[in-house]
Amino acid sequence: MTQTSKTDWERLAKMNEEEIDTSDIPELDVEFFRRAELRVPVKQAVTIRLDADVLEWFKGQGTGYQTRINQLLRQYMQAHQG
């Protein structure tokens, strides 16, 4: 995403549900979900060298440590894109 949001997120966060106008947003019906496609990024197996203490810390967080490492790398990538 290369454009900055023009939404006033702070003001929106303070609003209750009744104050938010969603009249221009169509309801998602059964047909929408029937046609919806799940797009999951393709994973590629790689060999990476990590400091032993870093790897142990991630493993110590439990199952899914590789997914968490990937999520952190994705956040870093997105934060540094043009």
Domain spans of the chain? 15-79
> What span, in angstroms and rounded, lies between the C-alpha atoms of 37 and 33?
8
User: Which pLDDT band holds residue 23 (cuts at 50, 70, 90)?
Assistant: very high
CB contact at 8 A, 65 and 58? yes
How many alpha carbons lie under 13 Å from residue 51 in its C-beta half-sphere? 3
Q: What is the pTM of this model?
A: 0.54
Tell which residue, 34, 32, 43, 35, has the closest CA to residue 70.
43
Decide: 28 and 36 in contact? Cβ < 8 Å: no
Give the pLDDT confidence of 44-56 residue by residue, as tens digits: 999 999 999 999 9
